[in-house]
Chain A
Amino acid sequence: MITNVTLSLAWRNLWRHPRRTWLTVGAMVFSNILLVFLISLQFGMYRVMYENSLRLFTGHLQVQAVGYIDEPRMRLTIPDAAGLAARLRDAMPGNDVAARGLAFALASSADRSYGVQIVGVQPEHEPRVSSLPGLVKRGRFLDNAGMQEAVIGSVLARNLRVDLGHELTLFGTGRDGSFAAGIVHIVGILDSGSAEIDRSFVQISLADFQDIFAMQGHGHSVVLMTSDLFNLKAATAKVEAIIESGESVVHDWNALLPGLKQSVQADMVSAWFMYAVLIVLVAFSVLNTQLMSVLDRTREFGVVMALGLSPARLGRLVLLETAMMAGLGLLLGVAVGSGVVLYFYHYGLTFPGLEAMTAQFNLPGRLYPSASFASLMLGPTVVFLACLAAAIYPAAKLLRMEPVAAMRAV
């Protein structure tokens, strides 16, 4: 039982050695601030990473031909891709749907040729499922189907030595294995900032694509953007009901881009290893302080035990002292930590070299921590529990204490 007397006793005991208490609390506050900041930053980063990576091209769900995901072959197609996309759009309001075709081809200008991946998209729907059309910096994105127009990446345009209005010849293999060729003219130049994309990006309208590559109305994927990327069960079931199963399947983003979730998981593991080290060090600090404070008071404890106080109650007193200390550390840590998070929440965080690294994971050059109850409290709560756990040994020492021997201790 914890009474008012026990409470004030515990509180006063803490301040018998103010310096010792403050140093221990200081260790907690230090770790808590770090944890609050780092965990919030992680949460913020992951969300942006998921959003940006999927929004770029992959989408949340894709309908593909069976086997296409492992071996993206020209002839593994879904029939009437545009029609399927339209049916999905009607059946699932609130979701964005677009059909695509993908093929490799040699793109030739008047004086250069490069092998690139050609993507056929639906000009009116593609901007809703992908952020790439929004990155067209010069000219415009495709607007009508069947106009033999193309949008290409800025690096590719430079390499091909072409500009708006110029023509590109595409050579490749059609769906039936026949020779495929077509001419398109450039209406837009895309500049995403990622050399990888800008070097290889070519989009034409799905109708032209089907024409050039002898697709007969077929496509390679239908992309869906849903409202919640972490809750796809219902949407997947709905899509499955609509597609003619057997030939086609639905894949979620985790299957389409398996590296994404795993990157986050790998990052989490290494981050928690670091956090664990910090937390263990704080626990050592608490163990030291509480053990000393119990040993300091051996005679005192002997006396109160002789007067009839149960060892269990004294043990609880030590735990209560620890809880108070840890609570103080938690409050101060969360308060200061939240301040730090709030600052960066508004102004963002950046440092030299960050941009080159974040670009690899489709992140912006400035990182913003997310500020939620979970991101602020998770770390400090673990620290709090670890501190209590560290106090178990000193508290347990009391249970084995003999009053007479304790009173005689030096």
Chain B
Amino acid sequence: MTRMPVTILFRLAWRNLWRNYRRTLIMLGAITVGVWAMIFMTALMRGMVDDMVKTAVRSLPGHVQIHHPRFRDDPSIANSLPPPGEVLVDALSSDQVVGWAARVRVPAVVTSERDTRGTTLVGIDPEAESGLSFIADDMIEGRFLQSFEDDGLVVGRKMLDNLETKLGRRVVVMSQDAENEIIDRGFRVVGVFESKLETTEERFIFTGRKTVQSMLNMNEDVSEIAVVGSSYRDVSNLLRLQQVLGPEQELLPWYELDIYLGSMLTMMDGFVLIWIIVIFLALSFGLVNTLVMAVFERVREIGLMQALGMRPAMILLQILLETLLLLLVGLAAGNLLAILTLAALSDGIDLSIVSEAMQMMGVANVLYPSLQIGDIVLADVIVIVLGLIAGLFPAWRAARYQPVQALTTV
């Protein structure tokens, strides 16, 4: 009996596991709770960051953005771009690009009969923007801009309140043209938009691109070209646009446009890993304990098996198999529990009790957990690999018993 078929080893391991069912059940309970917490918490965190990035990307930057190299530091009209040339338009019509829009974006002051506010005047082409930025979907009053020549003004609800004005009223927008002259122009408020974040409602006002271009004597120039791909997670395809750009054009991905968000995403990856390992370590004490007890109870039995010719390697293998089975059952239960709880919460978790804090962090009031296969795999692989490593110690001890001594142990 020097070589045992694996099936017998498996059956032995499985039966051994249930000899002391209470202990196994408690350990399974611990693994289940641990794995559930790993996956559940990770999904919540991911959901939060997802929402932050999506909201931020929708409120204008795009997944990648082309602008004048000096525009970010000095967002003035002097640092504009010529309109996209043929080569660029060609490149932008590739499959990788879901949408793109050229915009004019200038600092401005808007004045009603009652009050004055600083803001950013954005000249857009409404057709290109649909699906790209947020405004078109979130109109609450009036109409959205109809073409890039539209001379109506669309403002945020909060901005309208601040200015104490109404839909249909006129406001004056002041900005600066390419010759540094202050230009002002009257606009009629034709639409009001709402945003999940109040700051967005104050930060931008919109009109047709051509309207701004002619108001500020900037010909066909634009301030930025925002490009959106299929997912914010992987923008490497979009970054290839760099090849067709001239020297006066800079291409930046969203995580460099908003360093806070970018670092948030990297930190989240680190945090997920640390969280999973910490939970595992807390589990590992119980795991090793359970296995040590299981081996300790069976010293005589192990001695007998060795005396009958079972090789130490087989004993080691058997204890490791027991560990593996225990982990697999616990993982299955933990994964299932996590998936079920997350499915139950898929309508979102209402966080409106702390809504102001959510606004401060740039997150909406409803948190949608985001379960990612990669995170589940990461948690499961870490638990199995580290769990087997933890099981090595008791298994190795069991394999080293001297048959005669083990047999005579009480």
Which of A86-94, A240-248, A256-264, A314-322 is found at the contact surface with chain B? Answer: A256-264
Roughly how many angstroms separate A264 CA and B116 CA in the complex, as a whole number? 34
Question: Are B114 and A278 in touch, CB under 8 angstroms?
Answer: no
Which of A171-179, A229-237, A331-339 is found at the contact surface with chain B? Answer: A171-179
Residue of A115, A116, A291 with most chain B CB atoms under a 10 A cut-off? A115
Roughly how many angstroms separate A323 CA and B182 CA in the complex, as a whole number? 77
Kindly provide the distance from the CB of A162 to the nearest chain B CB, expressed in whole angstroms: 12
By secondary structure, the A interface counts as helix
Roughly how many angstroms separate A196 CA and B176 CA in the complex, as a whole number? 22
Kindly provide the distance from the CB of A398 to the nearest chain B CB, expressed in whole angstroms: 15
Task: Name the residue on A nearest B279 (C-beta).
Answer: A277
Q: Is A104 an interface residue (CB 8 A)?
A: yes
Q: Is A284 an interface residue (CB 8 A)?
A: yes
Beyond A115-B118, A259-B357, A277-B37, is A159–B292 a contact (Cβ under 8 Å)?
no
How many of chain B's residues have a CB under 8 angstroms from any CB in A? 68
- From 44 to 76 in chain B, residues with beta carbon under 8 angstroms from any chain A beta carbon are 44, 73-76
| 0 or 1 for each of A26-45: is its CB under 8 Å from B? (1 = yes) | 11001100100000000000
- Which of A106, A158, A284, A291 is within 8 Å of B174, CB to CB? A106
Kindly provide the distance from the CB of A379 to the nearest chain B CB, expressed in whole angstroms: 13
Kindly provide the distance from the CB of B212 to the nearest chain A CB, expressed in whole angstroms: 15
Task: Name the residue on B nearest A155 (C-beta).
Answer: B73
Residue of B110, B117, B262 with most chain A CB atoms under a 10 A cut-off? B117
Kindly provide the distance from the CB of A265 to the nearest chain B CB, expressed in whole angstroms: 6
Question: Are A274 and B275 in touch, CB under 8 angstroms?
Answer: yes
- From 262 to 315 in chain B, residues with beta carbon under 8 angstroms from any chain A beta carbon are 262-264, 266-267, 270, 275, 278-279, 281-283, 285-286, 288-290, 292-293, 296
Question: Are B260 and A357 in touch, CB under 8 angstroms?
Answer: yes
Beyond A159-B76, A258-B356, is A105–B282 a contact (Cβ under 8 Å)?
no
9 example contacts (A-B, Cβ-Cβ < 8 A) are as follows: A105-B116, A108-B176, A158-B73, A259-B357, A259-B359, A266-B358, A281-B33, A292-B20, A295-B22
Q: Is B382 an interface residue (CB 8 A)?
A: no
- From 69 to 91 in chain B, residues with beta carbon under 8 angstroms from any chain A beta carbon are 73-76
Roughly how many angstroms separate A108 CA and B111 CA in the complex, as a whole number? 16
- Which of A177, A277, A353 is within 8 Å of B114, CB to CB? A177
Kindly provide the distance from the CB of B260 to the nearest chain A CB, expressed in whole angstroms: 5
Which of A67-75, A137-145, A215-223 is found at the contact surface with chain B? Answer: A67-75
Which 5 residue pairs are nearest across A and B when measured between Cβ atoms? A115-B118, A262-B357, A27-B285, A259-B360, A284-B30
Question: Are B115 and A73 in touch, CB under 8 angstroms?
Answer: yes
Roughly how many angstroms separate A71 CA and B117 CA in the complex, as a whole number? 13
* Apart from the given pairs A105-B109, A353-B266, A356-B263, 9 other A-B contacts in the complex at a CB distance below 8 Å: A19-B292, A106-B182, A112-B76, A173-B115, A277-B279, A281-B279, A281-B283, A288-B27, A357-B263
Roughly how many angstroms separate A3 CA and B270 CA in the complex, as a whole number? 51
Question: Are B292 and A115 in touch, CB under 8 angstroms?
Answer: no
How many of chain A's residues have a CB under 8 angstroms from any CB in B? 66
Question: Are B359 and A23 in touch, CB under 8 angstroms?
Answer: no
- Which of B108, B275, B286 is within 8 Å of A27, CB to CB? B286
CB-CB under 8 A from A172, the residues of chain B are 109, 111, 116
Kindly provide the distance from the CB of B349 to the nearest chain A CB, expressed in whole angstroms: 11
Roughly how many angstroms separate A270 CA and B41 CA in the complex, as a whole number? 9
Question: Are A291 and B23 in touch, CB under 8 angstroms?
Answer: yes
Question: Are A277 and B34 in touch, CB under 8 angstroms?
Answer: yes
Q: Is B223 an interface residue (CB 8 A)?
A: no
Kindly provide the distance from the CB of B265 to the nearest chain A CB, expressed in whole angstroms: 9
CB-CB under 8 A from B285, the residues of chain A are 23-24, 26-27, 30, 285
- Which of B109, B114, B270, B360 is within 8 Å of A106, CB to CB? B109
Task: Name the residue on A nearest B25 (C-beta).
Answer: A288
CB-CB under 8 A from B117, the residues of chain A are 104, 115
Kindly provide the distance from the CB of B399 to the nearest chain A CB, expressed in whole angstroms: 17
Question: Are B286 and A292 in touch, CB under 8 angstroms?
Answer: no
Beyond A104-B117, A115-B119, is A292–B23 a contact (Cβ under 8 Å)?
yes
